[in-house]
Amino acid sequence: MSNKSILLIIGGGIAAYKSLELIRELARRDVKARCILTKAGAEFVTPLSVSALSGEKCYTDLFSLDDEAEMGHIQLSRSADLVVVCPATADLLAKAANGHANDLASTTLMATDKPVLMVPAMNVRMWEHAATRRNVETLRRDGVAVMEPDEGAMACGEFGPGRLPEVLAIADEVEEQLAAQNGAKPLEGQHILITAGPTREPLDPVRYLSNHSSGKQGYAIAAAVARLGARVTLVSGPVALAPPKGVDMVNVETARDMLKACETALPADVFISVAAVADWRPSISANKKLKLKDEGKTLPALSLAENPDILATISKKRKNRPGLVIGFAAETHDVEALAQAKMKRKGCDWIVANDVSGDVMGGAENEVSLVTRDNVEHWPRMDKTTVARNLANRIAVALGNPDGQQLAAE
C-alpha cells in the first residue's frame, strides 16, 4: 500500500471519533489520509485532532479563501486514490445519492473522479427507513461501494443494524479497494490452508485443557493472504473473532478434530500452522462432571495422552504435501535456537518464531523472527496485522510471483 492515499470525509455522528482510530490504523498500513471534516462532524471531533493524526491540513469549509487558493475543492476531490466517507450519515448518503452539493463534503463527492467507499453509521430506524434503503441502492447502482453496518447496542440505547463496522474491518475494506485498483493479486490461484486459535481438550463435560491463544495472528494472516487473491481455508479452534472476509471457515475443538479438518482440506499449495495446539489431552474424558471424593476430598488422578503433531504430520506427508509448510514457534526463552531445532524436527520449510513470555498471546502486537533453511530475518515489534501482511508478501515472493516481489519491496 506504499504511496497510496485516501480522502477521508468525516460525517457528523457519535461514531466520528472512530475515524481518528481509522486514520491511525491506515497509517500503520502505509496509507496516508487527507481529511474533510463536516460541520456536523466537528461537533464530535476537532480539526486539530484530525490534523495531528493525519499529518495533513484538515479541510472544513467550501468557501474558505485560503483553502481554495491552496488546494481547491476540485483538486482536493481528485488528490487521493480513494474517497472514504466515515461515518456516512443518513444525510451524507442522501446528498450523494441525489446529487446535492451545498457544502465541501457533498461538492467533493460530486466532483471526484475516484472510487468512493461509504461506511454508514446511524440509528437502526434511520438505517432501515425506506428512504435510506433507496439511497443505498442508488449509490450502489452508481458504482459506489457501501459497507453494511454492524449490528449491536447503540449510543442512543437502541439495538440493531446501524453501528459503524469495526475499525480493522474498515481498514481491510480500504486496502481491498486500493488493491483492486492495482489489479495486483500475487496469490491468485493458490490454495492456502491455515490453522488458528487454541484447541480444547475435554476433561469432562464442563472442563477442558487449553491455552491463552486469541487466534488474532492466524486470522490476520488468513485475511492478508485472501486480500492477495488466495483461496483460503481457515481451520480454527474456539475464539471470539469474526471470520475474515472471503475465507472458508472450518471450526473445530480438539487437536484431533483440527488434524482431520486439515487433511480433509488438502491438497493445498501452502500450509501455515499458527494454531496453539494442545500437546496433551486427558487420556480419558469423563462423561459426567468430576467430583471430589466424599469427605476425604481426594483429587482425581489426571492421566494424559499425547496429541497428534499436526505440523509434523503435514510436513512429512508423501502425498499431498504442500509446497511450502510454515510453522509457528511460541517460546519463552532461547527463541531462535529452539525455532531452528523445531524446523528440523518437524520437517517444515519455515518457522515464524516469537517470544510469548510477555503480552503476545491475546495481545495486539507481535515481535517475530522468520527462520528459513538459509536465513533468519528479525522483524521489529509491530501489530499483528502488519506481521500478517509481511508474511503474506514473503509467501508471494517464495511462490515466484513478481507482484509479490514488488509488494515485499514496498
Kindly report, residue by residue over 150-201, the tens digit of the pLDDT: 988 877 778 889 999 999 889 988 988 887 777 668 899 999 999 999 999 9
Q: Among 406, 216, 193, 229, which Cα is nearest to 315's?
A: 193
* Same fold yes or no, 4-182 and 191-409: yes
What mean pLDDT is predicted for residues 113-122? 95
pLDDT exceeding 90 applies to what percent of the chain? Answer: 63
The pTM of the full predicted model, rounded to 2 decimals, is 0.69
pLDDT-based confidence at residue 409 (cuts at 50, 70, 90):
very low
CA dist 219 and 172 (Å) reads 12
User: How long is the chain?
Assistant: 410
Question: Per the annotation, where are the binding residues?
Answer: 279, 289, 308-311, 328, 342, 346
Average per-residue pLDDT for the chain:
88
CA dist 63 and 279 (Å) reads 66
Q: Is the pLDDT of residue 331 over 80?
A: no
CA dist 183 and 381 (Å) reads 30
Question: Per the annotation, where are the binding residues for CTP?
Answer: 279, 289, 308-311, 328, 342, 346
CATH number for domain 191-409, candidates 3.40.50.80, 3.40.50.10300, 1.20.1560.10, 3.40.50.2300? 3.40.50.10300
Q: What is the DSSP string of 70-84?
A: HT-HHHHHTSSSEEE
Residues with Cβ < 8 Å from 273, sequence gap 6 or more?
Answer: 195, 310, 311, 314, 325, 326, 327, 328, 348
Range with lowest mean pLDDT among 22-36, 66-80, 316-330, 345-359: 66-80
Catalytic residue ranges: 156
pLDDT at position 406, please?
41
pLDDT-based confidence at residue 410 (cuts at 50, 70, 90):
very low
Q: How many other C-beta atoms lie within 10 A of the C-beta of residue 346?
A: 21
Domain positions in the chain are: 4-182, 191-409
Q: Is the pLDDT of residue 108 over 90?
A: yes
Structure-block grid coordinates of residue 343: 524446523
Whether cis (ω within 30° of 0) applies to the bond prior to 161 is: no
Q: Give the residue with greater pLDDT, 85 vs 368.
A: 85
pLDDT-based confidence at residue 276 (cuts at 50, 70, 90):
very high
CATH number of 4-182: 3.40.50.1950
